[in-house]
């Protein structure tokens, strides 16, 4: 999916969501969504706030409130990033990539799997129209796995 269709899809979902919740679609909200969908990496409230300062000054609270609203609307995913706090990531793109999260070091990896992609694109649910979905696989990354194996080997040597 190109950047523009991703954003258009996200804007449509946001419009539906705010109509449903009887909220206002403010210029700030639109600008934050555009920014979120132009970044291709996980980001924090501060990063978006910093980025908008010159062109479109908004308060940190506005950025935070909108990101939380995007999360509820299914437009971004959210995860805790150790000391740095919460990270968000635009997620109307899961048709092309999925995420893996290492439960030990918290690192997020992107991967592509045509089988999952095809499976999801053909999925139909009764009385429910799927507009987007995100796949997050939790596990242990290669680096952490290697560390664990080294520790195990050390322990074995010490036991001998
Ligand atoms: Zn790891």
Domain boundaries, the chain: 1-93, 95-160
Residue among 81, 113, 79 at smallest CA distance from 94: 113
Task: Output the CA–CA distances (angstroms, integers) from residue 97 to 17, 23, 112, in the order listed.
Answer: 24, 31, 5
Distance (angstroms) between ligand 1 centre and the Cα of 135 equals 18
Ligand 1 centroid, distance to 143 Cα (angstroms): 6
Residue 153 pLDDT level (bands cut at 50, 70, 90): very high
Q: Give residue 99 CA to ligand 1 midpoint distance, Å.
A: 14
Query: How would CATH label the architecture of 95-160?
Result: 2-Layer Sandwich (3.30)
**Is the pLDDT reported for residue 1 higher than 60?**
no
Q: Measure 65 CA to ligand 1 centroid, in angstroms.
A: 31
Centre of ligand 1 to C-alpha 148, Å, is: 10
**How many angstroms is it from 100 CA to the middle of ligand 1?**
10
Confidence of residue 154 (pLDDT cuts 50, 70, 90): very high
| pLDDT higher than threshold 90 for residue 15 | yes
Question: For tokens 């999952």, what's the residue?
Answer: 116
CATH T-level fold of 1-93: Arc Repressor Mutant, subunit A (1.10.10)
pLDDT at 105: 94
Q: How far is the CA of 108 from the centre of ligand 1 (A)?
A: 9
Confidence of residue 94 (pLDDT cuts 50, 70, 90): very low
Q: What pLDDT does residue 110 have?
A: 87
Domain 1-93 shares a fold with domain 95-160: no
């Amino acid at each position: 999916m190109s950047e523009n269709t991703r954003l258009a899809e996200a804007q449509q979902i946001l419009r539906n969501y705010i109509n449903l919740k009887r909220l206002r679609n403010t210029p700030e909200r639109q600008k934050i969504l555009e920014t979120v969908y132009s970044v291709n990496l996980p980001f924090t409230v501060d990063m978006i706030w910093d980025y908008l300062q010159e062109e479109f000054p908004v308060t940190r609270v506005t950025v935070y409130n909108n990101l939380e609203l995007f999360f509820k609307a299914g437009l971004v995913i959210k995860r805790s990033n150790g000391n740095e706090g919460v990270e968000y990531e635009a997620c109307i793109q899961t048709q092309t990539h999925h995420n893996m999260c290492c439960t030990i070091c918290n690192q997020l990896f992107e991967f592509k799997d045509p089988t999952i992609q095809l499976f999801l694109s053909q999925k139909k649910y009764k009385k429910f129209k799927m507009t987007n979905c995100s796949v997050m696989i939790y596990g242990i990354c290669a680096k952490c796995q290697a560390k664990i194996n080294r520790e195990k080997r050390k322990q074995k040597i010490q036991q001998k």
